[in-house]
């Protein structure tokens, strides 16, 4: 457990990899593709509201640690702010701001009536007890009480958080307002109004988009070779579902390293092994150990970075041997690396499309909650699949028509919708 009241050092973001610069650069490219008025672009470049709160937490030792928590609300032109809550040592206000902007384009691209937001606290959740995490989450929620709400801003899980934290957030918000408000968060447990299918939704969405993109190139998903970095909520579900669909999952990794099997891993067996070994991949009998760096440069049909930002950079972009990169994580490819992959003919399925399955099922959870009618998992998956497939094909067709990469096509669709709504609402400066 963390004993001192000193905040953990955050790994610095290299000067050439500023997440906000990247997201703004894609915004500008989409704006010039669509001839969006510079005034509108100037509005969209900045988050509407940035909240940083102080979170004093009593540790199990009795000492007090004071953490900083952020919530950035980028844009609510299309509906309530929406986005996950991240607990990771690398969280900074810059990173959260960039992730909030990504949420705006993602929701607009998918045609769901939300704006974009993101929250986070710079902690390594593995260093805290469950009790400490609960106190941190409850205090963070209390501090944000005036800024969030089911019609205002709806948090959800992201890296380092899960249904458990969402239940604490829901309970804290409800206690503060004096009645139960399940709609304050999505990604919550089924017992308090969660949706079937939400836990695997982001990974399922990744599988669907990869399947559609491979089909476009005349390749079936069954038999395609896949490599996945990250084995958490997103990477774990993506690997399992891809394996189930007949893809050959050559390698997966987490913080403990990776495992590789030339003829494909038995992913369900590896999943069990990782759970039984408290997150460790080592000693898995069905594969050999590899490093995360080696994993990224394995030859394969599809590479799926599903962990952190900035994993494919100008330092390793030339070594990538995948035919396609599906961004399950947010921002795993840097601006320069993106251009390098493009010029090498490697297809990149952009984050705002590839990992949108999570927020889509969050939306379906919200819809079910609002109508007090809950669906079976088959219906949730079908509705999500319909939205994901349509979004993929809209992006693909836009890319073809305009002769632009898939990322720019996706941004063009997302930014275009928000800019149109901004103008129609008369919010033009």
Ligand X SMILES: NC(=O)C1=CN([C@@H]2O[C@H](COP(=O)(O)OP(=O)(O)OC[C@H]3O[C@@H](n4cnc5c(N)ncnc54)[C@H](OP(=O)(O)O)[C@@H]3O)[C@@H](O)[C@H]2O)C=CC1
Rule CB under 6 A: choose which of 51, 101, 156, 274 binds ligand AKG.
156
Residue 285 Cβ vs ligand AKG, minimum distance, rounded to whole Å: 35
Closer CB to ligand X, residue 167 or residue 422?
Answer: 167
Q: Are 229 and 296 in contact (CB under 8 A)?
A: yes
Closer CB to ligand AKG, residue 156 or residue 312?
Answer: 156
Closer CB to ligand X, residue 329 or residue 333?
Answer: 329
Beta bridge partners of residue 153, listed in sequence order: 81, 149
Q: Which does 41 bind (CB under 5 to 8 A by kind): ligand AKG, ligand X, none?
A: none
Q: Which does 323 bind (CB under 5 to 8 A by kind): ligand AKG, ligand X, none?
A: none
Q: Which does 186 bind (CB under 5 to 8 A by kind): ligand AKG, ligand X, none?
A: ligand AKG
Rule CB under 6 A: choose which of 19, 83, 232, 414 binds ligand X.
232
How many Å apart are CA 22 and CA 4, to the nearest integer? Answer: 35
Element (H or E) spanning 69, and its range? strand 64-75
User: Count residues contacting ligand AKG (CB under 6 A)?
Assistant: 14
Q: To the nearest 5 percent, what fractions of the chain are helix, strand and coil?
A: 45, 20, 35
Q: Are 354 and 328 in contact (CB under 8 A)?
A: yes
Residue 282 Cβ vs ligand X, minimum distance, rounded to whole Å: 12
Q: Binding marks (x or -) toward ligand X, 246..265, rule CB under 6 A?
A: -------xxxx---------
The verdict on 230 binding ligand AKG (CB under 6 A) reads no
Residue 206 Cβ vs ligand AKG, minimum distance, rounded to whole Å: 11
Catalytic residues: 118
What does each C-alpha distance from 224 to 135, 165, 326, 371 come to in angstroms? Answer: 45, 36, 13, 40
Residue 201 Cβ vs ligand X, minimum distance, rounded to whole Å: 7
Rule CB under 6 A: choose which of 73, 254, 310, 355 binds ligand AKG.
355
The verdict on 67 binding ligand X (CB under 6 A) reads no
The CA angle 97-101-102, to the nearest 5 degrees, is 115
Q: Are 183 and 370 in contact (CB under 8 A)?
A: yes
Element (H or E) spanning 250, and its range? strand 248-254
Residue 92 Cβ vs ligand AKG, minimum distance, rounded to whole Å: 16
Closer CB to ligand AKG, residue 97 or residue 323?
Answer: 97
b/e map 268-305, b = 16+ CB within 10 Å = eebbebbeeeeeebeebeebeebebeebbbbebbbbbb
Element (H or E) spanning 304, and its range? strand 300-305
Rule CB under 6 A: choose which of 104, 141, 362, 381 binds ligand AKG.
362
Q: Which does 229 bind (CB under 5 to 8 A by kind): ligand X, ligand AKG, none?
A: ligand X
The verdict on 23 binding ligand AKG (CB under 6 A) reads no
Rule CB under 6 A: choose which of 31, 69, 79, 84 binds ligand AKG.
84
- Running DSSP on this structure, what letter comes out for residue 312? B
The span of 239-247, 256-264, 299-307, 353-361 binding ligand AKG (CB under 6 A) equals 353-361
The CA angle 334-340-342, to the nearest 5 degrees, is 100
Q: Which does 211 bind (CB under 5 to 8 A by kind): ligand X, ligand AKG, none?
A: none
Rule CB under 6 A: choose which of 163, 259, 322, 359 binds ligand AKG.
359
How many Å apart are CA 118 and CA 101, to the nearest integer? Answer: 8
The verdict on 83 binding ligand AKG (CB under 6 A) reads yes
b/e map 53-77, b = 16+ CB within 10 Å = bebebebeeeeebebbbbbbbbbbb
The verdict on 158 binding ligand AKG (CB under 6 A) reads yes
Q: What are the residues whose beta carbons fall under 8 Å from the beta carbon of 290, sequence distance 6 or more?
A: 251, 253, 257, 258, 259, 260, 298
Closer CB to ligand X, residue 40 or residue 411?
Answer: 411
By CB under 6 A, the residues from 189 to 228 that bind ligand X are: 202
H runs (alpha helix) in 254-291: 267-276
By CB under 6 A, the residues from 363 to 422 that bind ligand X are: none
Q: Are 209 and 245 in contact (CB under 8 A)?
A: no
Q: Are 409 and 427 in contact (CB under 8 A)?
A: no
Q: What phi and psi values does residue 286 have, to the nearest 5 degrees?
A: -95, 20
Rule CB under 6 A: choose which of 92, 98, 161, 186 binds ligand AKG.
186
Beta bridge partners of residue 85, listed in sequence order: 119, 157
Closer CB to ligand X, residue 80 or residue 358?
Answer: 358
**Which residues are near ligand X by CB under 6 A?**
84, 157-160, 202, 229-235, 253-256, 279, 292, 306-308, 328-330, 355, 358
**Which residues are near ligand AKG by CB under 6 A?**
82-84, 103, 106, 156, 158, 186-187, 330, 355, 358-359, 362
């Amino acid at each position: 457990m963390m004993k001192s009241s000193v905040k953990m050092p955050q790994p610095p973001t290299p000067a050439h990899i500023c997440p906000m610069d990247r997201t703004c650069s894609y915004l500008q490219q989409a704006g010039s593709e669509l001839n969006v008025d510079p005034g509108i672009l100037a509005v969209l470049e900045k988050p509407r509201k940035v909240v940083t709160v102080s979170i004093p937490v009593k540790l199990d030792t009795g000492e007090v640690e004071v953490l900083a928590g952020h919530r950035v609300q980028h844009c609510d032109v299309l509906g309530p702010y929406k986005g996950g809550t991240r607990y990771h040592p690398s969280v900074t206000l810059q990173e959260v701001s960039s992730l909030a902007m990504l949420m705006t384009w993602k929701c607009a691209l998918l045609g769901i009536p939300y704006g974009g937001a993101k929250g986070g606290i710079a902690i390594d959740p593995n260093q805290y007890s469950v009790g400490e995490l609960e106190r941190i989450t409850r205090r963070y929620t209390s501090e944000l009480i005036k800024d969030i709400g089911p019609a205002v801003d709806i948090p959800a899980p992201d890296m380092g958080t899960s249904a458990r934290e969402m239940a604490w957030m829901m309970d804290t918000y409800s206690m503060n307002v004096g009645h139960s408000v399940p709609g304050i968060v999505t990604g919550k447990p089924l017992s308090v109004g969660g949706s079937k299918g939400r836990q695997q939704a982001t990974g399922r969405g990744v599988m669907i988009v990869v399947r559609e993109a491979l089909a476009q190139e005349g390749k079936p998903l069954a038999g395609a070779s896949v490599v996945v970095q990250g084995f958490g909520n997103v990477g774990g579900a993506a690997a399992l579902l891809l394996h189930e669909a007949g893809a050959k999952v050559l390698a997966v990794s987490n913080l403990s390293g990776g495992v590789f099997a030339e003829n494909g891993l038995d992913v369900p067996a590896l999943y069990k092994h990782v759970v039984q070994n408290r997150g460790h991949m080592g000693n898995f009998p069905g594969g050999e150990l590899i490093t995360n760096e080696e994993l990224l440069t394995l030859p394969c049909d599809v590479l799926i970075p599903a962990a952190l930002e900035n994993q494919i950079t100008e330092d390793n972009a030339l070594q990538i041997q995948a035919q396609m990169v599906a961004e399950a994580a947010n921002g795993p490819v840097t601006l320069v690396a993106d251009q390098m992959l493009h010029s090498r003919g490697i297809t990149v399925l952009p984050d705002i499309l590839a990992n949108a399955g999570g927020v889509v099922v969050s939306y379906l959870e919200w819809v079910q909650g609002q109508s007090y009618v809950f669906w079976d998992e088959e219906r949730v998956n079908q509705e999500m699949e319909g939205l994901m497939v349509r979004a993929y094909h809209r992006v693909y067709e836009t890319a073809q028509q305009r002769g632009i990469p898939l990322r720019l096509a996706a941004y063009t669709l997302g930014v275009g919708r928000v800019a149109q709504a901004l103008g129609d609402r008369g919010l033009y400066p």
